[in-house]
Amino acid sequence: MKVLALDVSTTTTGFAIINNNSKLIEYGQFSIKDRPLSDTLYAYSITEKSLKLAKKHQVDNIIIENIYYASNPEYFRTWARVHGGIAVQWYKKTRKEPIFMMAVVARPKIGINGKANKIEIQLEIAKRFKLIKDEKYYDFCSKFNELLKQKKAKQLTRNQFDYRVKKLSENFEKEINLSEHQADSIVLGLAYFR
Protein backbone atom coordinates (compact mmCIF):
# COMPACT_ATOMS: atom_id res chain seq x y z
CA MET A 1 0.00 0.00 0.00
CA LYS A 2 1.24 3.49 -0.90
CA VAL A 3 0.02 7.00 -0.18
CA LEU A 4 0.74 10.46 -1.51
CA ALA A 5 1.08 12.95 1.35
CA LEU A 6 0.78 16.69 0.65
CA ASP A 7 1.74 19.74 2.69
CA VAL A 8 -0.05 22.52 0.81
CA SER A 9 1.16 26.11 1.05
CA THR A 10 0.42 29.30 -0.84
CA THR A 11 3.56 29.05 -3.00
CA THR A 12 5.08 25.63 -2.29
CA THR A 13 3.49 22.24 -1.83
CA GLY A 14 5.62 19.47 -0.39
CA PHE A 15 4.88 15.89 -1.38
CA ALA A 16 5.98 12.43 -0.31
CA ILE A 17 5.20 8.94 -1.53
CA ILE A 18 5.34 6.56 1.45
CA ASN A 19 4.50 2.87 1.64
CA ASN A 20 3.09 0.87 4.53
CA ASN A 21 6.62 -0.27 5.49
CA SER A 22 7.53 3.40 6.12
CA LYS A 23 9.71 3.44 3.02
CA LEU A 24 10.18 6.87 1.50
CA ILE A 25 9.76 6.23 -2.23
CA GLU A 26 9.89 9.80 -3.51
CA TYR A 27 9.68 13.30 -2.10
CA GLY A 28 9.88 16.80 -3.47
CA GLN A 29 7.87 19.95 -3.88
CA PHE A 30 5.93 21.95 -6.39
CA SER A 31 7.04 25.58 -6.12
CA ILE A 32 5.47 28.54 -7.78
CA LYS A 33 7.50 31.44 -6.39
CA ASP A 34 6.28 34.94 -7.19
CA ARG A 35 3.31 33.26 -8.76
CA PRO A 36 1.33 35.33 -11.23
CA LEU A 37 -1.40 32.68 -11.21
CA SER A 38 -4.82 33.31 -9.74
CA ASP A 39 -5.86 31.06 -6.85
CA THR A 40 -7.98 29.03 -9.26
CA LEU A 41 -5.10 28.41 -11.66
CA TYR A 42 -2.74 27.68 -8.77
CA ALA A 43 -5.23 25.15 -7.36
CA TYR A 44 -5.58 23.59 -10.82
CA SER A 45 -1.80 23.37 -11.26
CA ILE A 46 -1.18 21.74 -7.85
CA THR A 47 -4.12 19.37 -8.36
CA GLU A 48 -2.87 18.23 -11.77
CA LYS A 49 0.69 17.68 -10.49
CA SER A 50 -0.59 15.79 -7.45
CA LEU A 51 -2.86 13.52 -9.48
CA LYS A 52 -0.06 12.83 -11.97
CA LEU A 53 2.18 11.70 -9.07
CA ALA A 54 -0.63 9.60 -7.61
CA LYS A 55 -1.10 7.86 -10.96
CA LYS A 56 2.65 7.36 -11.51
CA HIS A 57 3.02 5.61 -8.16
CA GLN A 58 -0.44 3.99 -8.16
CA VAL A 59 -1.16 5.26 -4.65
CA ASP A 60 -4.07 3.94 -2.63
CA ASN A 61 -4.94 7.28 -1.06
CA ILE A 62 -3.95 10.90 -0.65
CA ILE A 63 -3.19 12.46 2.72
CA ILE A 64 -3.45 16.27 2.90
CA GLU A 65 -2.36 18.47 5.78
CA ASN A 66 -5.61 19.92 7.05
CA ILE A 67 -6.27 23.63 6.94
CA TYR A 68 -5.54 25.46 10.17
CA TYR A 69 -6.44 28.95 11.24
CA ALA A 70 -4.19 31.46 9.52
CA SER A 71 -3.83 35.06 10.60
CA ASN A 72 -3.92 36.07 6.93
CA PRO A 73 -7.32 35.32 5.34
CA GLU A 74 -5.68 35.31 1.87
CA TYR A 75 -3.68 32.20 2.85
CA PHE A 76 -6.78 30.48 4.17
CA ARG A 77 -8.65 31.18 0.94
CA THR A 78 -5.81 29.80 -1.21
CA TRP A 79 -5.44 26.67 0.93
CA ALA A 80 -9.18 26.03 0.80
CA ARG A 81 -9.20 26.23 -2.99
CA VAL A 82 -6.22 23.91 -3.43
CA HIS A 83 -7.53 21.42 -0.85
CA GLY A 84 -10.93 21.43 -2.51
CA GLY A 85 -9.49 20.98 -5.99
CA ILE A 86 -7.41 17.98 -4.97
CA ALA A 87 -10.21 16.42 -2.91
CA VAL A 88 -12.84 16.69 -5.65
CA GLN A 89 -10.61 15.45 -8.45
CA TRP A 90 -9.24 12.56 -6.36
CA TYR A 91 -12.80 11.54 -5.48
CA LYS A 92 -13.90 11.76 -9.13
CA LYS A 93 -11.06 9.45 -10.19
CA THR A 94 -11.14 6.93 -7.33
CA ARG A 95 -14.43 7.31 -5.44
CA LYS A 96 -12.30 7.68 -2.29
CA GLU A 97 -12.18 10.70 -0.06
CA PRO A 98 -8.68 11.92 0.74
CA ILE A 99 -7.58 11.89 4.36
CA PHE A 100 -7.13 15.30 5.98
CA MET A 101 -4.79 15.37 8.97
CA MET A 102 -3.48 18.20 11.13
CA ALA A 103 0.30 18.37 11.44
CA VAL A 104 0.00 18.71 15.24
CA VAL A 105 -1.82 15.34 15.24
CA ALA A 106 0.50 13.64 12.73
CA ARG A 107 3.79 14.55 14.42
CA PRO A 108 3.17 12.82 17.78
CA LYS A 109 2.10 9.66 15.94
CA ILE A 110 5.69 9.29 14.75
CA GLY A 111 7.39 10.57 17.90
CA ILE A 112 7.77 14.28 17.12
CA ASN A 113 6.39 17.03 19.36
CA GLY A 114 3.21 18.40 17.79
CA LYS A 115 4.41 21.97 18.30
CA ALA A 116 7.98 21.40 17.11
CA ASN A 117 9.67 24.11 15.07
CA LYS A 118 10.05 23.46 11.35
CA ILE A 119 13.82 23.01 11.69
CA GLU A 120 13.28 20.32 14.34
CA ILE A 121 11.04 18.42 11.93
CA GLN A 122 13.52 18.80 9.09
CA LEU A 123 16.32 17.54 11.34
CA GLU A 124 14.33 14.53 12.55
CA ILE A 125 13.21 13.47 9.07
CA ALA A 126 16.68 13.99 7.57
CA LYS A 127 18.24 11.88 10.33
CA ARG A 128 15.56 9.18 10.17
CA PHE A 129 15.95 8.69 6.42
CA LYS A 130 19.73 9.23 6.34
CA LEU A 131 19.44 12.35 4.19
CA ILE A 132 22.12 14.14 6.23
CA LYS A 133 25.64 13.33 7.41
CA ASP A 134 26.14 13.19 11.18
CA GLU A 135 28.52 16.16 11.12
CA LYS A 136 25.94 18.41 9.40
CA TYR A 137 23.16 17.11 11.62
CA TYR A 138 25.04 18.02 14.80
CA ASP A 139 26.05 21.38 13.34
CA PHE A 140 22.42 22.35 12.68
CA CYS A 141 21.34 20.96 16.08
CA SER A 142 24.00 23.08 17.75
CA LYS A 143 22.85 26.22 15.93
CA PHE A 144 19.23 25.58 16.88
CA ASN A 145 20.13 24.86 20.52
CA GLU A 146 22.09 28.12 20.66
CA LEU A 147 18.99 30.00 19.51
CA LEU A 148 16.93 28.25 22.20
CA LYS A 149 19.49 29.27 24.85
CA GLN A 150 19.42 32.88 23.66
CA LYS A 151 15.64 32.91 23.74
CA LYS A 152 15.54 31.41 27.23
CA ALA A 153 18.11 33.96 28.45
CA LYS A 154 15.89 36.68 26.93
CA GLN A 155 18.69 37.72 24.58
CA LEU A 156 16.23 37.36 21.71
CA THR A 157 12.66 38.57 21.44
CA ARG A 158 10.07 36.11 20.17
CA ASN A 159 10.15 37.80 16.75
CA GLN A 160 13.95 37.68 16.60
CA PHE A 161 13.92 34.02 17.59
CA ASP A 162 11.25 33.15 15.01
CA TYR A 163 13.13 35.03 12.28
CA ARG A 164 16.42 33.29 13.04
CA VAL A 165 14.79 29.85 13.23
CA LYS A 166 13.14 30.53 9.86
CA LYS A 167 16.53 31.47 8.38
CA LEU A 168 18.09 28.33 9.86
CA SER A 169 15.33 26.24 8.27
CA GLU A 170 15.93 27.96 4.91
CA ASN A 171 19.69 27.30 5.17
CA PHE A 172 18.95 23.68 6.01
CA GLU A 173 16.81 23.42 2.87
CA LYS A 174 19.61 24.89 0.72
CA GLU A 175 22.34 22.67 2.17
CA ILE A 176 20.46 19.41 2.72
CA ASN A 177 17.74 19.77 0.07
CA LEU A 178 14.88 19.07 2.48
CA SER A 179 12.36 21.86 2.89
CA GLU A 180 9.91 22.30 5.74
CA HIS A 181 7.12 21.39 3.30
CA GLN A 182 8.83 18.19 2.21
CA ALA A 183 9.53 17.21 5.83
CA ASP A 184 5.92 17.80 6.87
CA SER A 185 4.59 15.80 3.92
CA ILE A 186 6.84 12.89 4.96
CA VAL A 187 5.49 13.19 8.51
CA LEU A 188 1.90 13.02 7.22
CA GLY A 189 2.64 9.92 5.17
CA LEU A 190 4.33 8.14 8.06
CA ALA A 191 1.55 9.09 10.48
CA TYR A 192 -1.11 7.66 8.17
CA PHE A 193 0.26 4.16 8.71
CA ARG A 194 0.36 4.47 12.53
Segments making up each domain of the chain, as ranges:
1-194
**pLDDT value at residue 35:** 60
Low-confidence stretches of the chain (pLDDT beneath 50) = none
Kindly report the CA angle at 35 between 171 and 119, in degrees rounded to 5? 25
**pLDDT value at residue 10:** 79
Distances (CA, A) of 152 to 29, 118, 145, 147: 34, 19, 10, 9
pTM of the model: 0.93
**pLDDT value at residue 33:** 64
CA dist 34 and 152 (Å) reads 36
CA dist 38 and 43 (Å) reads 9
CATH for 1-194? 3.30.420.10
Identity of residue 20: N
**pLDDT value at residue 74:** 80
**pLDDT value at residue 45:** 87
CA dist 182 and 193 (Å) reads 18
Q: Which run of H or of E encompasses 63?
A: strand 61-65
**pLDDT value at residue 94:** 96
